[in-house]
Structure 1
Amino acid sequence: MSSIKNVLRSIGYQVKSLLGEGSFGTVLLCENMVDLSEVAIKITEKVQSYVSNETFALKTVKHPNIVDIYAVLETDKHAFTVMELAEGGNLLDLLAQESFSLSEERVKVIFSQLVEAVNACHQVGIAHRDLKLENVLLDLDGNVKLSDFGLCTRQEQRESSNTFCGTVTYSSPEVLTGEEYDAFKLDIWSLGVILYSLVCGSFPFDDFSISQMVQLQKDHILPFPEPISSECKDLILQMCQPDVAGRPSIRQVQNSSWLCQ
């Protein structure tokens, strides 16, 4: 860590604390030594595809609900991505803080912002491929800041049948069974899982073997506790439709009766 601190100090940042750690790296809270502003700096091993994907996406898509990227520095071993700080934690943190019980109206505000962020990506041909509660950050006002674009793909890149991306809990049946898949429709499925978890306080397909999960997904079995509006249930069922062709586009999600009420 001392060598990393020295690198960051050389580019003008003082490490203040650890924000989080994940499979793709570490995120530190850092202070600009000139103007004392705070930023988040993600440190990843120099896996070129991950770094270039995230850099491309965050430089291509500028949106109020997507984290802003300020600079990228690469050394022989690491990449340092200097990003906007989202101080409100992530959606999984929020659920835990609220005892896994959020009102449907509050969820609608959060989810509509997330949909706006994903739409901004899809409109320029970028699919996120790792949408999950932990990758949806919040600022201090509770506004969504979508992050972690290291697994994103572009429309012109065709994914082969053996390219697994994302997290099992948020993955669609065609991904889990190793079929060739549409990355944009994978995003829609993941959004359905996120919405279900926000309104129900649990995951729709969890704590099962992969084969059991896939069977439940294909059976389209989604238990809904009360009270959840029929419009919200319908939207979740549409997004978590096992038939890829039956899933809505992100624009159709935007225009759903639940979000337009």
Structure 2
Amino acid sequence: MEGPLDFHPPLDGFRFVDVLGRGSFGLVKLARHLASGKYVAVKILLQDASPSSPLSAQGEAVILRSLRHENIVRLLAERHTRTHLFLVMELATKGSLESYVLEQGGLAEAEARTLFRQALAAVSYCHGQRVVHRDLKLGNLLLDAHLNLKLADFGLSLRLEQGTLVRGFWGTPEYCAPELFLGEAYDPFKADLWSLGVVLFAMLAAKLPFRGKDTEELQDTVLCGCYVLPRAVSPALQELLAWLLTVDASRRPSAEDARTHWWFGPSREAAQDEEEDAVTLLQPLGVPRDSEAKEYLAGLGLLPGTGTEGTPGPQPCGPEALPESSQGGEQHHIEKDPLSLVSVSCDSMSVDVSSARSDSSEASSESCPPPCLGASRS
């Protein structure tokens, strides 16, 4: 369905190819740079009647212009006309993290750790620049050709002074922190960390932790702070999730604090590897000289040559022998297919170059049961 943004002037030096995403405030198109032949994503916005507004199209451009980080989508150029603003962005060729997670049916913990570490790095950098994102979600996290994460869509972002509180409900409700539902002044930086907790849960489960048939029911589940992961995860990950999804905002970590959590620590990975590779070496029994001792050990079948000293003990079960809830570590690789454009999350700058697999897992739609796993971190 076309809207006012579809009727825009041409962009000199570029040829538009297809629509990548569509939102309330912007339209994202795939475009080819004619001089170099390279593809880019172009976000098209209407020029604002009041450009001084903190949520103006120019405001988004100003914030993007000031950010330089390997995990944040880069602004390559700006073009202005009397009616439109064009933001030329680097193209994330593997599409949104949302599409990738749904295709995989949830990520293994090791892969989630790698991607979430990059998300935290991007948000920590933004917060260090006093920029709050306010719409962190899977659809606004993109993947490049090497499956590196890129944070995108700063349409709701603000640059704020230290300690500034805000009011109002912004962002995607299922990712919003409890304090946004209460109508009180809140710290938007801490609200970003709650949204990251929802992102981390969704990366693992391929579904959202807090849902409801309407806003009132969603609010109740968010204020309760109750969630249940559909499969087992490590104690470190359980603790990090509980820290991020703490209902009391004052007890949530900063992005920089979260980056130091032991789930990311090399000592944790080394200890796990040592535990997995550990082998217990047993010294074989020799033949005693004492005839009574020899007779006793022979009766137990413990002397070399009696046929029992090499009998194997219990063997570890393979994944096929485990219950389904214990097998959450399998990774599926996206097959390389010809270019296939897909629609992605509103206001995201991405294109998916892999066709959807017919056997890919889909996110579960069943509701989370009531028990609480995510209590406050003490």
Please give the TM-score of this superposition, normalised by the length of structure 1.
0.92
Which residue is equivalent to 2:221? 216
Amino acid in structure 2 at the alignment position of 1:184: F
- 1:246–1:3: structure 2 CA closer, same or farther, 3 Å change rule? closer
CA contact (8 A) 1:50 1:151 kept: no
Higher relative contact order (CA 8 A, sep 6+): 2
Secondary structure of the corresponding residue to residue 183 of structure 2: coil
**1:172-211 correspondence runs (5 A):** 172-211=177-216
- 1:164–1:16: structure 2 CA closer, same or farther, 3 Å change rule? same
C-alpha distance in 2, partners of 1:245/1:2? 44
- 1:160–1:106: structure 2 CA closer, same or farther, 3 Å change rule? closer
Q: Name the structure with the higher helix share.
A: 1
> Shift in Å at residue 46 of structure 1?
2.2
> Shift in Å at residue 159 of structure 1?
4.8
Alignment match of 1:91 (pick from 68, 92, 97) = 97
Secondary structure of the corresponding residue to residue 20 of structure 2: strand
> Who wins on radius of gyration, i.e. which is larger?
2
> Shift in Å at residue 56 of structure 1?
2.0
Alignment match of 2:244 (pick from 239, 243, 247) = 239
Q: Check if 1:144 corresponds to 2:135.
A: no
Identity of aligned residues (%): 34
> Shift in Å at residue 140 of structure 1?
1.1
Q: Check if 1:7 corresponds to 2:13.
A: no
C-alpha distance in 2, partners of 1:28/1:159? 35
Secondary structure of the corresponding residue to residue 15 of structure 2: strand
Q: What are the superposed Cα offsets for residues 55-93 of structure 1, whole Å, 9 maximum, x if unpaired?
A: 122111100110110112222322110111111100111
Q: After the TM superposition, which of the residue ranges 68-77 and 249-258 deviates more from structure 2? A: 68-77
Q: What are the superposed Cα offsets for residues 187-239 of structure 1, whole Å, 9 maximum, x if unpaired?
A: 10000000001112211101343333333233221112222112111111111
Q: Runs of 5+ in structure 2 lacking a partner?
A: 269-378
- 1:82–1:104: structure 2 CA closer, same or farther, 3 Å change rule? same
Which residue is equivalent to 2:366? none
Please give the TM-score of this superposition, normalised by the length of structure 2.
0.65
Secondary structure of the corresponding residue to residue 106 of structure 2: coil
Which residue is equivalent to 2:27? 26
CA contact (8 A) 1:95 1:198 kept: yes
Q: Kindly report structure 1 stretches of 4+ aligned residues shifted beyond 3 Å.
A: 157-160
- Counting matched residue pairs gives 256
CA contact (8 A) 1:53 1:149 kept: no
Q: Name the structure with the higher strand share.
A: 1
CA contact (8 A) 2:19 2:30 kept: yes
Indicate the RMSD between aligned Cα atoms, in angstroms.
1.7
**1:21-100 correspondence runs (5 A):** 21-47=22-48, 48=51, 49-98=55-104, 100=105
C-alpha distance in 1, partners of 2:59/2:139? 19
